[in-house]
Structure 1
Amino acid sequence: MPNIDRRRFLRDAAASTALVSAGGLAGTALTGPAHAAPPAAAPVAAAPAGRRSGPVSFRWWGTSAWRIDIGDRTVLVDPFLSRIDTGLFRGAFNQATKLEVRTDVVDSLVDRAETVLVTHTHWDHYMDVPHIVGRTGARVVGTLTAYHLGLAYGLPSGKLSPVRGGEVLDFGAYTVEVVSSLHSRNLSYSMAFPGVRVSQPARPVTIADLPEGDTLAYQLRVAGGPSVFFMGASDFAERNLTGLAPDVAMVALPSSTATANYAERLLDALDRPKVVVPVHFDNFETELRNPVTVAPTDRERLDTLVAAVRRASPRSRVIVPEYHTAYHF
């Protein structure tokens, strides 16, 4: 038996079948047998005493943003909720667009947070983070660029945790493994706003003041629950994914065909997760309202990605998420 299949066999034997429930499984937008609702499964094993209490839920907030509630504790990933109009989806992208946090929207959704995981510091991942941290007192985990940008916004250094990849951070009810990753490539084999911040800059004013700043991925393991892999951009270093073998993978939609064999290499590296959830496929300059708005070209890429997942990992269940829906894995 090949090594990758043996690892999967041992993992599957040790864990119950992934449980995905969301009020009738809202969010399974695609049809066909690979997207049918799963049969009822046994609940995941109870958490060790004193480690976690209460249910675990995952809510998608568009792009690669997630809210994870672990009992009465909340983790956010790339919480971009203001969804300002830069002209990107109208073919009139304005890189001088002002950074304007829509505090009414953000505050209506973020009532609490203890940890914010930032994959990279482009505006559609980082822009709302300083406001959220100022309001909730959450800790930010991110690159050195995220650290220096946090200082530029006046956040206390004690709330900023710079990481590089390889760290495994213990938060009691959950651990976070940091994975050094890569940003997506456009058709020119480049990206918008590359660069890092190696010292504290002036407070950002426009979206161009928030560079990519290196890219991370994260694997969150809930005590007595699932292991879930989060991507914020559609590229990766295969060697850095070896051994993660998550139960669930939040997979970013490729922004171009510049990255070769994207889905196939990614799923192989992740040991073919039980559940694959595409993210970053929506028009993130529209309101967070269902049904999810998807640009025609992104709809084609989404269908292509799902087809590639089905070919490369036919045992994986694909869940196309809807906004605000609570998923239980």
Structure 2
Amino acid sequence: MELTWHGHSTWHVTVGDTDLLIDPFFDNPKTSLEPSDVDDPDYLLLTHAHADHIGDAGEFGDATVVATPELAGYVEDELGLDEAIAGMGMNIGGTVECGDAYVTMHRSDHTNGAQTSYEYDVGMPVGFVVSDTKPTQVSDEESETFYHAGDTALMTEMREVIGPYLEPDAVAVPIGDHFTMGPSQAAIAVDWLDADVAFPMHYDTFPPIEQDPADFEREVEATGSDAEVHALDGDETVDLTETLY
């Protein structure tokens, strides 16, 4: 599994021959790319409807949208995505097969909204667990699993459900504070998730969320977690297999 961070909460995940793009928003200072510079993904995973998470979704019209049914309908109507490709609505707790990847949706603790001239119910905000094997209660030590927490506060589901049952090897957690967790609570999340690798995201995009990722790394160490913190440069790619093994 290959993971590329394009700044903010935008991740490109490659599992086998399948490419997934999460929360496309390239108007951020960590990336030098435009949407047109990015190879078209097979799947477009959207955590919620805030503009800094779906701002460039309309640029990837050939991808299958994976989102709550409400949000899939919204991007179809408002962003011009064709009905046939916007139709993979799923919901919290579900797992769908996306090419060589399995995508499980879990809620996040955040708000949601769509700023248009119409009232939209865009569903709950979510996070995604992406794995190269279908999640079961039988642990698979050879599987690789990445958890994109979305915009979220610290929540006990990380400790009670996502960590022990979905078993993410690598996690991307927001550290910007103000709108999401800050470094301290994000570090607790990493510890609860029992991850091997932690990536900070959703920081330094706007003045209210400016952070030094070194503070996050110190907070992770303070929890006693063994997770390795990797603060990536924008557009940097890591091979999860090499990182884990």
Residue type of the partner of 2:124?
D
Give the whole-Å Cα distance in 2 for the aligned partners of 1:328 and 1:61. 15
1:18-69: CA deviation from partner (whole Å, max 9, x where unpaired)? xxxxxxxxxxxxxxxxxxxxxxxxxxxxxxxxxxxxxx32111000101122
Aligned match of 1:229? 147
Identity across the alignment (%):
22
Over aligned residue pairs, what C-alpha RMSD do you find?
3.1
Give the whole-Å Cα distance in 1 for the aligned partners of 2:35 and 2:113. 27
1:170 to partner: Cα distance:
1.5
Residues 103 and 129 of structure 2 are in contact (CA less than 8 Å); yes or no, is this contact kept in structure 1? yes
Aligned match of 1:119? 47
Aligned match of 2:136? none
Aligned match of 2:226? 315
Give the whole-Å Cα distance in 1 for the aligned partners of 2:114 and 2:148. 22
1:317 to partner: Cα distance:
0.5
Larger CA Rg, structure 1 vs 2 = 1
In structure 2, the CA distance between the partners of 1:119 and 1:236, relative to structure 1 (3 Å rule), is: farther
Specify which structure has the higher proportion of strand: 2
RCO greater where, 1 or 2, for CA within 8 Å and sep 6 or more?
1
Give the whole-Å Cα distance in 1 for the aligned partners of 2:81 and 2:66. 13
- For the residue of structure 1 that corresponds to 2:41, the secondary structure is coil
Residues 191 and 225 of structure 2 are in contact (CA less than 8 Å); yes or no, is this contact kept in structure 1? no
Are positions 1:299 and 2:211 aligned together?
yes
In structure 2, runs of 5+ residues without a counterpart are 134-141, 241-245
Residues 121 and 211 of structure 1 are in contact (CA less than 8 Å); yes or no, is this contact kept in structure 2? no
- For the residue of structure 1 that corresponds to 2:14, the secondary structure is strand
1:241 to partner: Cα distance:
2.5
Residues 181 and 216 of structure 1 are in contact (CA less than 8 Å); yes or no, is this contact kept in structure 2? yes
In structure 2, the CA distance between the partners of 1:259 and 1:82, relative to structure 1 (3 Å rule), is: closer
Aligned match of 2:93? 166
Give the whole-Å Cα distance in 2 for the aligned partners of 1:145 and 1:173. 25
Aligned match of 1:107? 36
Residues 196 and 213 of structure 1 are in contact (CA less than 8 Å); yes or no, is this contact kept in structure 2? no
Aligned match of 2:189? 266
In structure 2, the CA distance between the partners of 1:323 and 1:212, relative to structure 1 (3 Å rule), is: farther
Q: Where in structure 2 are the equivalents of 1:230-245 lying within 5 Å?
A: 230-239=148-157, 240-242=161-163, 243-245=165-167
Residues 248 and 277 of structure 1 are in contact (CA less than 8 Å); yes or no, is this contact kept in structure 2? yes
Give the whole-Å Cα distance in 1 for the aligned partners of 2:226 and 2:49. 34
Aligned match of 1:252? 174
In structure 1, runs of 5+ residues without a counterpart are 1-55, 85-103, 184-190, 204-208, 285-294
Q: Where in structure 2 are the equivalents of 1:1-329 lying within 5 Å?
A: 56-83=1-28, 105-109=34-38, 111-132=39-60, 134=61, 137-152=62-77, 153-160=79-86, 161-183=88-110, 194-195=112-113, 214-223=124-133, 225-239=143-157, 240-242=161-163, 243-256=165-178, 262-263=185-186, 265-270=188-193, 272-283=194-205, 298-300=210-212, 302-329=213-240
1:122 to partner: Cα distance:
0.8
1:277 to partner: Cα distance:
0.7
1:268 to partner: Cα distance:
4.2
In structure 2, the CA distance between the partners of 1:180 and 1:234, relative to structure 1 (3 Å rule), is: closer
- For the residue of structure 2 that corresponds to 1:158, the secondary structure is coil
Residue type of the partner of 1:156?
D
TM-score by length of 1: 0.59
Give the whole-Å Cα distance in 2 for the aligned partners of 1:258 and 1:174. 27
Residues 176 and 211 of structure 2 are in contact (CA less than 8 Å); yes or no, is this contact kept in structure 1? no
